[in-house]
Structure 1
C-alpha cells in the first residue's frame, strides 16, 4: 500500500510540474491608492498577516480589511449589500458554497478582459476551480484562492493503544472502505468517553463526494433520490447505533474541546482542518496526529471539503490596485507559502504543489509530508456541481444526519424530510 500511495502522490506532483508556473511579474511600485477588502474571520487575520509581504512588493497600496462573520448569512448579505451600493468595497471573497449564488452577478469585474487577462493563466489553477469561476460566455468572475482536499486526520497514539496500526500507509490499507472504517472503529471507541468520529456529517459529505453525486445535477434537478444519499445515511445509522459518533454538535464549544480532551479518534475534513488542530483545538498534541486517505467507496477515496475565491467589484474606484492585490494573493509564492504554513490553506494554484514549503516533514504529524495525501486528492477528485440552492440542501441534510445518528428519525423519514423542505424552496 505504501508503494501505491507514493505512486499516486508522484503522479499528482508530476502533473503539477508539467504545468508552466506563472512568471512572477516584477511589481509595478507606481500603483497606489487604498482598497477595501471584504472577507470573514479568521481569514481577515490571515490577510492582515500578509500585508507586510504585500507592501514590500507594492509599497504605495493601502489595504483595509473587514471581516464579517459567516453565521446566519451575515457575510453573504454583506457582499450583496456591497454589490448594490456600487462603491466602497473593492475586493470580496466568495466561499465555495456561495459561488452559484454570486458568480453570475454583473457587479463582478470580468477578469478575462484587459487589462487583467486572467485567461492567459487561469488553467494554472485546479481544474474544478476554473469551472466554478468561468461563465458560459467566457467571463471570469473571480480567481480561485484555496481548495479543501480531504483526508482522514487521526490520533496515532490512540490507534496504537487500541492495537491498530499507526503508520499512515498501514492505516490507509486497513481503513480502505467505509464498512471497515466502522468495524475497526469499534476498537477506538470507549462508551461515553471516546468516539470514532465527531459527527455523521463527515461521513455523509465525504461519501457522496466520492460517489460523484452533487445535490443538484447540471440541469438543476434535485439528486436526493440517488442511492448514494441513502447509503451514506445507512452508514450514519450503523455508526450511531454502535456508539461511534460523539453527542457533540459540530463546531460547538463542546465539540471543539473534545479534541483537546482526546475524545475523538478521527476527523474527516479538508486539509485546512490541520490548521485548527495545530492552533486551536489540539495545540499540545504535536506528534500525536497523522493524516491518511479517507475510507472510500468503489475504490474512490478523494473528496473536496471547502474552497474560496476572490474577485473585484465593478464599483471599485481603484481597480488597478485591487487587481495587484488579488493576483499577488493567489499566485505569489510568498503569499501562498505564508497562507499554507501559517493557516494550512491549500493553494488552488497548481504550480505551488511542487514547492519545498508544501512538501516538508511536518513535526505536528510526526514528520509526515501530508502533501503526499492531499496532492492526489486535488488531482483526482470528482468536482461538485454547484447550484444556488446548495446551502438549503446542506442545512436540511445536516439536520437529518443528526436525527439519524441519534436514532430519532429513520433513514426513510430523514430523506423524505430533506426532500420536502428543499422542494418547498425551489
Structure 2
C-alpha cells in the first residue's frame, strides 16, 4: 500500500511538472512575436543603417524617432542619386553590405523589383494595414506585376503642373491668374498656341529644353519603354514615346523650345532671369527654385496642366533589403516616417510632396502660402494634380539607359540632325541594350 501511494505521488509530481513545462512553453510561444509581424515591439538595442539620396531632411525626423524609441539608433547616409543606386545594386548583388533601409527613386524602382528576392516583402510585415494612407497609383507602383509583393512604402511623389513667369505672360498678352491660365491652356494644342504667342511677342522660348517638351506626353504614359517581359515598346503603337518625341520635335521646329539643360548653371540663370516662359515641372521643383533662383521670387505662379499631361515625375520608396537582421524594427520606422503627419513635416521643411492624400486636407497644407510664388498656395494645385493621376506607370528594368538613347537623339535634333534618322538610330541602340 505504501509502495502504491509513493507511486501515485510520483506520477502526480511528474504530471504537474510536465504541465508546468508545457504551459511555460505555450506561454513562451505565444509571447514571441511573429518575425513577419509589424506589431513587434522590442527593447533590444539595435542600429539601423539607412541609405538615401538628395535633400530629404530625414536626419531631423530621425532624431525625433530615436527620442521616442531610445533602443533604436539610425545611421543616416545620403549620396548623389546615381552613386546611391549603384552602391545599393552592388551590395544587393553581392549579398552583403546592403543597409537595413534603402530609398529607391521611382525611375530606378523596376530595376530593383526584378530582384525582389533581395528585399523583404512588406506585405509580410503588415503593410496591407496602411495601404489606404497612400495614393493608389503610388502604392501600385511599388508592387510586383502579380500584386503579391510590395517592395517599398511611397514617400514623396512628383505631380506635375505648369510653372510660368507672370512677367513673360503679361508681355505676351496672356492671363496670369492661375485659374485663367489653366482654362486657357487646357489641351496640348492650346499649349502650342500660347507658346507661339510668347515667341512672337517676346522672342523667348516657351519651355526650357527638348527634354521638358518630350516629357509632357512621356510622363503620362502608363506603358512607355518596356513591358514586364522586358520587351522594347518605344516603336510599338501602344507606346506614347514616339508621340512624345514628335511633340518635342514640333515645338523645336517652331522655335518654342530653349536650349537650357536642366540643373546646369546656364539653366539656373535662365530660371532666375526669365529667359523662358514656363516649365512643366513636378511639385518638388519649387523647393529647388526657392533656393536657387532668388531674383525670380514673386514672378512665378503654378497652374494645372491639361489632362493629357497629368502625370507624375519623380518620387521615392523606402525598401528593406532581405539581409537585414531587424526587418520588423526597420518596418516600424519607415511606417512612422511615411505617416501622413510626418509627410506633412517633410513637405513643410524640404518640399517633399506627400504621397498620402489625407495630407491635402490638412489645414497647414491648404494654407501654406508660398512667398516665392507671390503668396499663392501652390500645394493645393499640386494636390489636385496628384489626384488627377489615375494609374501606375511601368518603366521597366532598363528604363534609364533606353530613355537616355532617346534624349541623345533629341539633343542631336536640336543641333540640326534629321529627326526621323535620329529616331530610327535611337530605337536600334535601345534594342541592342535590351538584347544584352
What TM-score range do you get, normalising by the shorter chain? 0.7 to 0.9
5+ residue gaps, structure 1, are 1-24
- Pick 1 or 2: higher relative contact order, CA cutoff 8 A, min separation 6: 1
Contact 2:98 2:321 in 1 (8 A): no
Per-residue CA distance 1:92-145 (angstroms, 9 max, x = gap): 1111111111124312112211xx311122233111222222232622221111
RMSD of aligned Cα (Å)? 2.7
- Residue 372 of structure 2 corresponds to residue 386 of structure 1: no
* Equivalent position of 2:384 in the other structure: 376
For 1:137 and 1:207, the matched residues in 2 are separated by 27
1:353 aligns with: 360
Q: Could you tell me the TM-score, scaled by structure 1's length? A: 0.83
**Contact 1:211/1:300, CA 8 A, preserved across alignment:** no
Contact 1:37/1:92, CA 8 A, preserved across alignment = yes
Going from structure 1 to structure 2, the CA distance change for 1:279 and 1:252 (only over 3 Å counts) comes to same
The 1-side partners of 2:327 and 2:190 are apart by 53
Q: How does 1:24-423 map to 2 (within 5 A)?
A: 30=43, 32-43=45-56, 46-71=57-82, 74-83=83-92, 84-87=94-97, 89-103=99-113, 104-113=115-124, 116-135=125-144, 136=146, 138-189=148-199, 194-210=204-220, 212-225=222-235, 226=237, 228-280=240-292, 282-294=293-305, 296=306, 300-333=308-341, 335-360=342-367, 361-381=369-389, 382-410=391-419, 412-423=420-431
TM-score, scaled relative to structure 2: 0.82
Q: CA deviation at 1:356?
A: 1.9
For residues 367 and 126 of structure 1, what CA distance do their matches in structure 2 show?
Answer: 27
SS class of match (2:296): coil
**Contact residue 111 and residue 142 of structure 1 kept, 8 A:** yes
Contact 1:293–1:301 (CA under 8 A) maintained in structure 2:
no
Corresponding pairs, count: 390
- CA contact 1:239–1:405 (8 Å) conserved in 2: no
Alignment-derived partner of residue 23 in structure 2: none
Matched residue SS, 1:106: helix
- Looking at structure 2, the residues matched to 311 and 229 of structure 1 have their Cα atoms a distance apart, in angstroms, of 29
Larger Rg: 2
CA 1:417/1:192 → structure 2, altered by over 3 Å: closer, same or farther?
farther
Structure 2: runs of 5 or more not aligned:
1-37
Alpha-carbon spacing, 1:33–1:332, altered in 2? closer, same or farther (3 Å): farther
4+ aligned runs moved over 6 Å, structure 1: 25-29, 190-193
3-state SS, counterpart of residue 162 of structure 2: strand
Structure with more of its chain in helix, by fraction: 2
1:242 shift after superposition: 3.1
